[in-house]
Structure 1
Amino acid sequence: IHAAMKSGMLAAEAAIDALVAERSRDELTAYPESFRQSWLFDELYKARNFKPLMKKGLWMGSLLFGMDQILFRGKAPWTLHNSADHSALKKASECTPIDYPKPDGVISFDRLSSVFLSNTNHEEEQPCHLQLKDPSVAIRITLDQYDAPEQRYCPAGVYEIVREEAGPRLQINAQNCVHCKTCDIKDPTQNINWVVPQGGEGPIYQGM
């Protein structure tokens, strides 16, 4: 959370400087530079190998990351890289469907009741902030080869395959979106693009 807040503060400072200088249509080139000069860059750089090392398992990953932090103080002369999340998704033909038990309403809950708790809200007629680069790919590849995984990995039930006489189509219920960006990251064809929705809308979590 502190990293998100600091990056937002740096972006705001860069935007203010641009507005004061009456620059309204160019890139905020000062933003990445101010990030590199901040304590946030140092903190994230030192922890950059955490996720790749933890893929080796809890014990081995903890041991190796401990060595990275203690021996090199996060400044090892190498940077490890993971493969993109979407590249790890298997095709439906390689998988066996999981038969999950129905939510009991006590320790497990259905998605729509959980979305209700997020207080998410979007105007019905606003431009959709979940964009498909090529709508045909959603059926021709994602449904046919991967069985439309967006129906399962989206925690808010935004994506729905609707079967019609003319054939199946992907329906996007963008008003349910909780802005987790899982679809943008996990879509196997990278066909879904999450963009910023109309200002001030989205989830409003209470009691955090």
Structure 2
Amino acid sequence: MNTKKREKTKAKLLKAVRLIITRGEKASVSSITKKANLAYGTFYRYFKDLDEIYYEAIEELLFDLALKLGPELNSIYPAPLRVYVAWYIVIDFYKDKNTATWLLDHPGKINKAFLDTQPISEEWIQEAIKDPKLPLFTKKNANHYMKVRTYLFWMYANALKEILKGRKIVDIYTELMSASNIFNFSKNTHELYIKTSIKYFDEIKRNHF
């Protein structure tokens, strides 16, 4: 099979999984190949198991989301507020119970998914440090964020568990962020950022979802 045909077939399989994920359905080799209109055995020519294709599809969806929402997120000011909004978006992104369950069953993948989003957040943090309009945001705030990332990873896993309990995403997000002052802001500033980020998320959701 030539390279172009292989790429096209693999893309069809990934597209099928992405569709299953976005619809909140449970993925299986049968459901994937059926949606892709391919033979059952074709799956194993491209992926060793469901875990491999599932994570690759999740990663594609995550980066597509970043590309789709990038311009709107970058328009949010100040830059640290974008980090708050991004946290809300990522929690909401994994609200499907099948995806949340899969990630909890594969904690290493949660960590990788979390780390994949960090370069964007770090760019925003550096922007905030250089912003003359944010004299109170310094390297100390940035260093605090870097130090608490391990704790944030644990919190993210806990947020997925709360999703599976059927709790509202806004309540999970508010509780998570209230428990972790990610930039070590004053209490009032931190609470203001949480409230403002919820408003921004609601606006983004109306525009894109």
TM-score by length of 1: 0.26
Higher relative contact order (CA 8 A, sep 6+): 2
TM-score by length of 2: 0.26
Higher strand share: 1
Greater Rg over alpha carbons, structure: 1
Higher helix share: 2
